[in-house]
Chain A
């Protein structure tokens, strides 16, 4: 995720990592037969959707202000 130059692609890699977490949760929930794991899978789905609903408009605002999604353009606080 950190090696790409596009913020939206970074967000997609974040979603890929969340999918990996969900896959692990599902498998271990099946092995342990735990209802809490099933609930947590559903909660991760919901949190991922809510996160995208906020992150993508923020990215569009950033695009509107600097006309680029290169993270190097947002290094104003770099010492």
Chain B
């Protein structure tokens, strides 16, 4: 009973955060709403017995991704036009698309077809238990683990390369070779 209540509270929190993201104007407030949604999702994962995924959600998404975004937001200029005008001219088309999506989801839900695998008792957290998950990951999916490591390395190199792009300095009579900084 109390577990169902907590699940409902955190589900409502996640949906509220997502809806607030749409209506809030300042990007920092949008980021805080997204953090609230992510933390609610982590609580839902923990309630389902998926503690590994809940920890990943908080560490990776909230602790790394959203902190990076907050740093980027702090570098923004508040005089930007995107701060004062929230929505683009595509608002009407986006609203029609949202209405269509909701209609399709409702039609599928109201049809009442059972989900695949549903009906049997599922042991909570069994698939994501740390020891069998780690063993399965390193035994059967080690190639994907290696590819992901390469992807992270490429992302790190790309981020460094992007940040190293500098504006070209204009060449003029006042610029002397001795005054220019050396890039070794």
Contacts and interface: CB of A to CB of B under 8 A. Distances in A.
Interface of A: 2-9, 11-13, 15-16, 19, 22-23, 26, 28-39, 41-43, 45-54, 56-61, 63-64, 67-72
Contacts of A48: 60-61, 65
A60 B75 contact: yes
Interface of B: 18, 21-22, 27, 30-31, 34, 37-38, 41, 44-45, 48, 50, 53, 56-57, 60-61, 64-66, 68-69, 72-73, 75-77, 80-83, 85-88, 90-91, 93-95, 115-118, 122, 124, 126-128, 132-133, 136-137, 140-141, 144, 148, 151-152, 154-156, 158-159, 162-163, 165, 167
Nearest to A57: B162
B47 to A, nearest CB: 12
A interface secondary structure, majority:
helix
